[in-house]
């Protein structure tokens, strides 16, 4: 029978059912990375495989100086996670631990729930109300095109656990920082601040959070049994993968672009952030295939963004003293670019008019607020590097963000290609502009 297997396999592969789509640099990166690596949690063996995949792909595309720049980071991994309402209406809840969550003892914990409709309400609560309880924060976020609601509502995830811990809570559950109504929880990072002791911290799916709200509103004491077994595994290597389009004039400064290679562990990281890698890499590849630009493009596939921007910090530490003409990152999914923003030393820089002309043809106009970049390029922006944000449509981004649903089928190829066109138009201008791109004064560190 053994001899038959290759023949059967060959016949199967020859059928058109699984044939590959036509070659396309951007889409092929998302498809390849999500299929051949899958999830790539920061600091794990999966992220190391992703780095090797990245090096092979970037070399194959013809980029110069392709290399890995390693750094170390503390690594958190998910364990088992279950929750159920024990009283008054017994039923299971769907949840996912938040990054750096503490764990419950063996067998889990059972405790009374105390609910808050916002992070402000939790902050205002006396410690005695919270002590020994499972805190539930049901802050609800709505979708916006620019994604700006994430800044405010995301605080329930980023700082809620430390606030609850410092008030003596046994654990914290938050309503997912998401805009969908699927029974799929949204994970994401939180950090223990102000000396907070790690406690179990998890996000309920939006329907589960709404169910718990209704049960609490019935007015009877609510008991939950919670078992979470994530753990810190120690300090392990992560790394940035770097590739370049060499420029003619080393004194003109580097154009730093990229996205992040790591993903959360629940989905396969298609929109967050294989799409950003695809957009920036496909655009840089078009410059690589054209006349040699004045400025060098440095493309970075940053490691360990999700767990706290370790890759961006490592990059700035290694390269912060080099002259950077400009920076931009793509970490907001795969949908179309609808607006651009800039932050230049000269608000009337000639480059602004050049960009307005180049992007206007794609239906992308200038916005009214300054660009700020994201987590990966943030440390370079703080050092005064001029920055451009090509803002992508975020209307559906937080339906999928950090969930098991972040998979390849969510990529809209037409929108991905529009974003690549916009990035290409932007890069064509900035690599050769005569604008001196003066540095800005360093910005104070945000917290
Ligand atoms: Zn991201
Ligand atoms: Zn993310």
Q: How many residues are there in the chain? A: 447
User: What contacts 208, CB < 8 A, 6 or more positions away?
Assistant: 93, 94, 95, 183, 185
Tokens of 306: 């999700």
Cα 263 to ligand 2 centroid, rounded to whole Å: 7
Cα 376 to ligand 2 centroid, rounded to whole Å: 11
**pLDDT confidence of residue 370:** 95
**pLDDT confidence of residue 169:** 98
DSSP 163-232: HHHHTT-SEEEEE-S-S--SS-----B----TTPPP--EEEE-HHHHHHHHHHHHT-S--EEEEEE--EE
Q: Checking DSSP bridges between strand 254-260 and strand 297-302, what pairing results, if any? A: parallel
Q: Is 305 a catalytic residue?
A: yes
Backbone CA torsion sign across 289, 294, 299, 305? negative
pLDDT of the chain along its 447 residues, tens only? 444 455 555 555 555 566 655 579 999 999 999 999 999 999 999 999 999 999 999 999 999 999 999 999 999 999 999 999 999 999 999 999 999 999 999 899 999 999 999 999 999 999 999 999 999 999 889 999 999 899 999 999 999 999 999 999 999 999 999 999 999 999 999 999 989 999 999 999 999 999 999 999 999 999 999 999 999 999 999 999 999 999 999 999 999 999 999 999 999 999 999 999 999 999 999 999 999 999 999 999 999 999 999 999 999 999 999 999 999 999 999 999 999 999 999 988 999 999 999 999 999 999 999 999 999 999 999 999 999 999 999 999 999 999 999 999 999 999 999 999 999 999 999 999 999 999 999 987 654
CATH for 23-72+235-430 is 3.40.630.10
Cα 131 to ligand 2 centroid, rounded to whole Å: 31
Buried (b) or exposed (e) across 266-295, using 16+ Cβ within 10 A? bbbbbbbbbbbbbbbbbbbbbbbeeeebbb
Is residue 368 within 8 A of residue 146, CB to CB? The reply is no
> Of the residues 31, 47, 305, 306, which is catalytic?
305
Contacts 24+ apart (CB under 8 A), 362-365: 362/337, 362/418, 362/421, 362/422, 362/425, 363/338, 364/337, 364/338, 364/339, 364/340, 364/390, 364/422, 365/339, 365/340
Structural domain spans, the chain: 23-72+235-430, 81-231
**pLDDT confidence of residue 194:** 80
- Ligand positioned closest to the Cα atom of 260: 1
- Ligand positioned closest to the Cα atom of 307: 2
Cα 331 to ligand 1 centroid, rounded to whole Å: 5
Q: What is the pLDDT of residues 323-352, one digit of tens each?
A: 999 999 999 999 999 999 999 999 889 999
Cα 96 to ligand 2 centroid, rounded to whole Å: 15
- Ligand positioned closest to the Cα atom of 330: 1
Instruction: Give the whole-angstrom CA distance, residue 357 versus residue 313.
Output: 34
Cα 259 to ligand 1 centroid, rounded to whole Å: 8
42 DSSP 8-state letter? T
**pLDDT confidence of residue 13:** 53
Minimal CA–CA distance to 365: which of 394, 343, 390? 390
Cα 35 to ligand 1 centroid, rounded to whole Å: 18
Minimal CA–CA distance to 41: which of 187, 209, 224? 187
Minimal CA–CA distance to 402: which of 205, 221, 232? 205
70 DSSP 8-state letter? E
Cα 277 to ligand 1 centroid, rounded to whole Å: 10
Collapsing DSSP states into helix, strand and coil, what is residue 279? helix
CATH for 81-231 is 3.50.30.30
Minimal CA–CA distance to 340: which of 327, 332, 325, 352? 352
Cα 142 to ligand 1 centroid, rounded to whole Å: 19
Instruction: Give the whole-angstrom CA distance, residue 408 versus residue 31.
Output: 6
């Amino acid at each position: 029978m053994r001899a038959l297997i290759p023949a059967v396999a060959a016949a199967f592969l020859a059928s058109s059912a699984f044939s590959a789509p036509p070659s396309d640099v951007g889409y092929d990166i998302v498809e390849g990375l999500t299929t051949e690596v899958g999830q790539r949690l920061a600091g794990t063996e999966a992220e190391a495989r992703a780095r090797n995949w990245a090096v092979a792909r970037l070399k194959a595309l013809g980029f110069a100086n392709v290399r890995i720049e390693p750094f170390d980071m503390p690594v958190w991994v998910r364990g088992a996670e279950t929750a159920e309402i024990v009283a008054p209406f017994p039923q299971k809840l769907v949840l996912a631990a938040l990054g750096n969550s503490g764990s419950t003892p063996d067998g889990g914990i059972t405790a009374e729930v105390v609910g808050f409709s916002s992070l402000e309400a939790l902050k205002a609560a006396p410690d005695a109300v919270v002590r020994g309880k499972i805190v539930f924060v049901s802050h609800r976020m709505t979708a916006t095109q620019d994604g700006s609601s994430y800044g405010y509502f995301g605080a329930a995830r980023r700082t809620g656990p430390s606030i609850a811990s410092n008030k003596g809570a046994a654990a914290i559950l938050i309503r997912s920082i998401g805009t969908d109504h699927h029974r799929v929880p949204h994970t994401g990072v939180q950090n223990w601040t102000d000396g907070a002791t790690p406690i179990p911290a998890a996000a309920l799916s939006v329907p589960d959070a709404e169910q718990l709200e209704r049960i609490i509103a019935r007015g009877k004491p609510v008991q939950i049994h919670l078992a979470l077994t994530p753990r810190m595994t120690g300090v392990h290597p992560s790394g940035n993968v770097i590739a370049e389009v060499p420029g003619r004039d080393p004194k003109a400064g580097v154009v730093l672009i990229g996205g992040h290679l790591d993903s959360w562990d629940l989905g396969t990281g298609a929109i967050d952030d294989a799409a950003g890698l695809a957009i920036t890499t496909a655009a840089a590849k078009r410059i690589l295939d054209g006349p040699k630009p004045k400025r060098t493009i440095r493309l970075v596939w940053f490691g360990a963004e999700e767990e706290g921007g370790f890759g961006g910090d490592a990059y700035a530490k290694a390269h912060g003293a080099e002259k950077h003409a400009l920076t931009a990152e793509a970490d907001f999914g795969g949908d179309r670019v609808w607006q651009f923003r800039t932050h230049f030393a000269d608000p009337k820089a000639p480059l602004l008019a050049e960009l307005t002309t180049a992007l206007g043809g794609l239906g992308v106009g200038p916005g009214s607020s300054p660009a700020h970049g994201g987590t990966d390029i943030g440390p370079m922006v703080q050092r005064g590097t001029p920055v451009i944000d090509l803002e992508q449509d975020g209307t559906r981004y937080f339906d999928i963000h950090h969930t098991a649903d972040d998979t390849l089928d969510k990529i809209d190829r037409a929108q991905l290609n529009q974003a690549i066109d916009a990035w290409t138009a932007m890069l064509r201008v900035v690599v050769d502009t005569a604008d001196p791109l003066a540095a800005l004064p360093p910005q104070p560190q945000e917290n």
